[in-house]
Each structure stands twice: as C-alpha cells, then as structure tokens.
Chains A and B, each alone.
Chain A
Amino acid sequence: MNKHTAHENTLIIGVGNPILSDDSAGILVARRIQEIYSASTSIHVVEASLGGIGLLDLMAGYDKVIIVDSIKTESGEPGTCYRLTVDDLGNPSYSWGPHLLDLRTAVELGTRLGFNIPESITIYAIEIKENELFSEMLSPEVEDAIPCLVKKIIDDLKQ
C-alpha cells in the first residue's frame, strides 16, 4: 500500500478481516483499486482490520474518504452492491463498548473531540453470506460482485 501524508486528498480504506471468509471483501476490493491507482499521488489506498476509533486515525487530514466493507442486511441478496453515507448507518450507539464502536458513532465522537474528520465519507459495501467461518475464500456470489463494486468506486473517483 502507498504511504500517505496528511495533506493528500482522497483515501480509500478497505475494511475487513482477511481470514473470516466474506469479511475480507472490502480488503479485496481495495487491492483492486490499489492496482489501478498505484501511481496516483492524490488517491491513496490502505487495508484496515479496524473499526470505530481506529478508522478515525486513518482518516485524519483527508478531504475525502471512501470506505469499502462487507455488509449483512436482513433480507439482502449476497453480492448486492451498496453506496451508503454515514447517516445511512443509523443512529450513534455507545452502548456496547469502545472496541465495537461503529463508524457512525466514531464519526460523531470524533467530531465532538475535535478530530480532523473528512468533509466527505462514502461507504461502498457488498452484501455477504458468510463471516463467521475461518477461511480465505469468498462465497461465489461475493467473488462475482467484486468487479461491480470496483467499477462503482472508480466512477466515483472520476467525478
């Protein structure tokens, strides 16, 4: 991954656990983006097995951040691609604990504590099937959806 400095513009964060089956989807999408933008000085790509406050550390100083992750909704079909905002993630929730602080809550907390929060945070996600089984393999539906999500992100970056 490229090293980044605080004054650069866009950061893409591929989020996931690389050994929990479909949970690695965000990381794998980020790697495809990295291959395309490896020479870019204004678009940087990192992999992160982080949540909450950890993501704030990475985002600090960037104007625009794209987070790529897996998602499981109540009735979604595996392989469905989504474009979300932070507000789409529901209300902030501090109930459970700091290590499980979700992105929505982390952004609010960071704002209150004076973190340098990016002006634009967009989330691209793939509906997944399996994230409780230790494996480095993706479900076929998720594997097939990776190019679709890569294209959506590239189109976003070209705007």
Chain B
Amino acid sequence: MAQKITINPITRLEGHGKIDIFLDDKGNVQDAFMQITELRGFERFCIGRPAEEMPRIVPNICGVCPTPHNIASTKALDYIYGVAPTPAAKLIRQLQYNANFIEDHYIHFFFLAAPDFVVGPDANPAERNILGVISKVGLDIGKKVIEVRKKTREIIKLVASKPAHPEGGLPGGVSRGIKQEERKGIMETANMCVDFARFALQLFKDVVLKNKAYLDLILSDAYNLKTYYMGLVDENKKVNFYEGRLRVIDPNGKEVAFFHPNDYIDYIGEWVEPWTYIRLTHLRKLGWNGLIEGDNTSLYRVGPLGRFNVSEGMATPLAQEEYEEMVNTLGKPAHHTLAYHWARLIEALQAAEDLQRISVDPLLTSNDLRNMNFQFTGKGIGCVEACRGTLIHHYETDDHGLITKVNLIVATQNNAASMALSVKKAAQNFIKGGEVKEGLLNMAEMAFRAYDPCLGCATHTLPGKMPLIINIYDNKHNVVKTLSR
C-alpha cells in the first residue's frame, strides 16, 4: 500500500517549508521532496532605491544570517562605485565577519547538531535539544556558548550598530572605526573564542568520533552524497570567508572551474521545478540533470563541507591541523553529509584565529576608513562565503545609482537540491516496511539539519516558530498517523 509521509509545518503560512516522503506498496521510501517557500517580491521591492541603502535593507531578508547579506551587499557597492575598501576598512569588515562566523556556527552546532550526537538520535524528543545537551555536558558549557555568542555579537554591534541586522557598510569603506581603547576587549574575545573553539572540537572528537556508532553513522551510505562542490578560496587555495575566487571540484576531487565571482552567471544555472518555490541551482555548463548524485550529476554543494573539499587547507595554523585530521579520517573529497558538522567546527576555529590576528593588527585602529576615489560602473557583484555557503548579491543601477536590478544566489538555494536528495537517501535507509517512528524520521531530518539550512526569513509574527507536523497518508491520502513537534 503506497503511502505518503509529509513532514509539514502547522501552517498559517502554507508551504513555508515541508518535506514529503512517498512510500511504495511495500512501505519503503520511493521518493522525497523538500519544498521551500520564498518570500515574494524582494527584487521588485528594491528597484528604484539608492544602491547605498542596500546594505541596510538586505539584512532584513533573513534573521538567521543577516551579516553575510550586509557584507556581500557592501562588496557589491564597492564594484558599483569602482572603488576598493581601504586596508583598515577591509580589516574591520573581516573583524565583523569573523565574529559572525563564530557566533553562527556555534549556535547551530550546540542547538541543532549536538542534540543528536550528545543526547542521541533516538532519544526522547523532549530531551533531544539544547537542554538535553546541557544536562549531559554541564550547565557551564551552556553558559559558555551563550557568552561566546554575546561577546562576538558585541563586536558586530561595535562595527555595524546592530548585531542582528547590521547597518554598517559603505562603498569603499566602513562607517565606523575601532578606537584603541576598544582593542583590548576585542583581543580578550578573540582569545576566548580560540580556547572555546579548541574545546568544541575536542568535545566533538570525544563524543562523536570516538563513538563507533556515531562514526559509522557519519561514514554510512545513508548520509553519503556524491556531488560537485563549490566555495571561495584565496590565492593559495585556502578557505577564505570574505573574498577570493570560486573553485569547483567534481565528485572525484578534480578541479573543473576556478573563476572570479563576477562571472558567476557563466557557471551557475537556475532550474525551476513545480514542487518547490526555490530555483534549484546547478552547474550551468553541465545542464540540469535532475536530482541525482554521482558522475552524471550537475549538482554542487556549498558550505562547510563544500569549502573543506574545494580548498587545499585552512588559512590559520590550528585550523589547518584540524583540517589535516579530518582529511586523514574521511579522505578527500569527503561526501559524508554529517561531516558538515565537523567542518563547521574547524571553520569556527579559523574564524577565531583570524579574529586574534586582526585584534593585534596595528591597522585596526587606523582612521583611514573610506576610499572615495569613485569610478562609477553601475554594476556590482558581491560574493562571500556565508556560514551556510556561497552567497552572491548582484545589483545593477541607472546613472543616478538607483537600483534597476537585483539578483541573489543564497547559500541554501545552492544546497536545496542536494538537501532534498540527502533527505531521500537517509529516509530510504531508515524507513522501511511502512514502519514510521519518530526516531526514524529524525534520522531523515539529520540529513537536512547538517546543512544548517536557512529557511527562516525574518518573520517575527508570534509565536515565532515553525512547528512541524508529520502526516502519514495511506494510498487513498487518508491520514493514518500524525506526529507533531
């Protein structure tokens, strides 16, 4: 009897995000689709606005990752006005950006990843959350996570006025410098973050990698997906969150593209499917080959695992040591979806080390904050590596600097097709014979959560959550079982 399983939010907002799993007559997973809604009209909303307003507007697209939007937008302005930021301004932008990386990555790890690995994927859902994690690792660790978050957000606030929706960012510079008396606090935060990053990685190794069951899960076929990968690297092909060129490798690890983000149109295609609102990106030169993995795929993944795979190392020494350990364990390219969590922690360490470097740089307190030697071009493409993956802001203006076109490629969009495949593959491994238990569905969701997807779109309407309902349908579309969160 064919069945349809739907992981669906209780929705006043129909289609906000849902996963449909279809079972065949034997109760095994036949197919899975992940539908993501997009908010309507952003590109239209911005037309006619002065380009320099964009770094202030775009953080409101998303309450989950506003800082990457702010930085990518600012970089697009650099190109529109044909001006590079001063060295001090670039340093301050990187200060803000690294602080964001640390905060965002740890909140994801301790709230989303750790419950499955520290508490257990089959544990009671009432315990499989941050409180369950804290009860296992201790209240002090929970407080430390919150402290790291607080201190890094204070850095963002220092630079860009509001941590949740930063407003700084000018073409050719930044709006606020760093005073010498503020340096000490930044250094202390940076040192704290490096210590915490090393602790978090050790925790991951002790709790996850040394647990054979968990390591087997990471290495299992259920969570293995062979795709291309894409990410920014510097001139030495090391991971760089702020700038560089985009490198693409194939499922076997061979470089197939290495291009400036200004040329993204030539490499990234967008495909429309009727079952989702999101435009599914793929490698344009290969064409859309559907939701498949392996040698014939045209799908690529971005984010921590993508950056791990496309790079030839990390840019800071301690992170590089951790990178080498991950290579020795998983090999390269690593197609293990759950390894996103490991790569995420290594990136947080690089961000912390870079924060240390910036905190002692004499240039940090320079007053040379703005390059006003404008050579107006009317077109700008700002690209960064957001925590979740490659983010591109493409703007065009008229001769007065008013926006005429906006195109965004966001991180989760890059991963959307692969996420759907990952969920399908995990579901196929864990849901069999029509047996649908909450723990089994959670195993499918683990594939989804590894990407740290950004479906939240800054809607603050009460109660401010996206609850889930899991409906199991028989082949006549009758609900035979309901699970809810």
Contacts and interface: CB of A to CB of B under 8 A. Distances in A.
A133 interface: yes
Interface in A114-142: 114-115, 123, 125, 128, 131-135
Interface in B450-473: 456, 458-468
Interface residues of B, number: 48
Nearest to A133: B40
Nearest to B135: A112
B143 interface: yes
Interface stretch (A31-39, A94-102, A151-159): A94-102
Contacts of B125: 95
What are the 6 tightest A-B residue pairs by CB atom distance, in nearest-first order? A94-B129, A98-B111, A134-B45, A102-B465, A95-B485, A71-B462
7 contacts: A72-B12, A95-B468, A97-B111, A99-B64, A113-B146, A128-B461, A134-B41
A49 interface: yes
B360 interface: no
Interface of A: 15-20, 23, 26, 48-54, 57, 69-74, 84, 89-90, 93-105, 109, 112-115, 123, 125, 128, 131-135
A98 B12 contact: no
B465 A133 contact: no
A98 B107 contact: yes
B467 to A, nearest CB: 6
A20 B38 CA distance: 13
B461 A99 contact: no
Nearest to B127: A94
A113 B145 CA distance: 10
Given A73-B12, A113-B139, A113-B142, A93 B111 contact: no
A95 B458 contact: no
Contact of A23 (B107, B134, B461): B461
Contacts of A54: 163-164
B260 interface: no
A23 B456 contact: no
Interface of B: 12-13, 37, 39-42, 44-45, 57, 60, 63-64, 107-108, 110-112, 115, 125, 129-131, 134, 139, 142-143, 146, 149-150, 153, 163-165, 449, 456, 458-468, 485
A69 B461 contact: yes
Contacts of A26: 460
B39 A99 contact: no
B227 to A, nearest CB: 24
Nearest to A49: B165
A73 B463 CA distance: 9
A96 to B, nearest CB: 5
A97 B112 contact: yes
A90 B464 CA distance: 11
Contact of B40 (A95, A101, A115, A132): A132
A51 B460 contact: yes
Contacts of A93: 465, 467, 485
Nearest to B16: A132
A104 B465 CA distance: 10
B468 A49 contact: no
B459 A132 contact: yes
Contacts of A89: 462-463
A51 B464 contact: yes
Given A20-B39, A109-B130, A102 B461 contact: no
Contact of B465 (A15, A73, A74, A101): A101
Contacts of B37: 132
A70 B463 contact: no
A143 to B, nearest CB: 16
A109 B163 CA distance: 21
Nearest to A73: B12
Given A113-B142, A114-B143, A49 B458 contact: yes
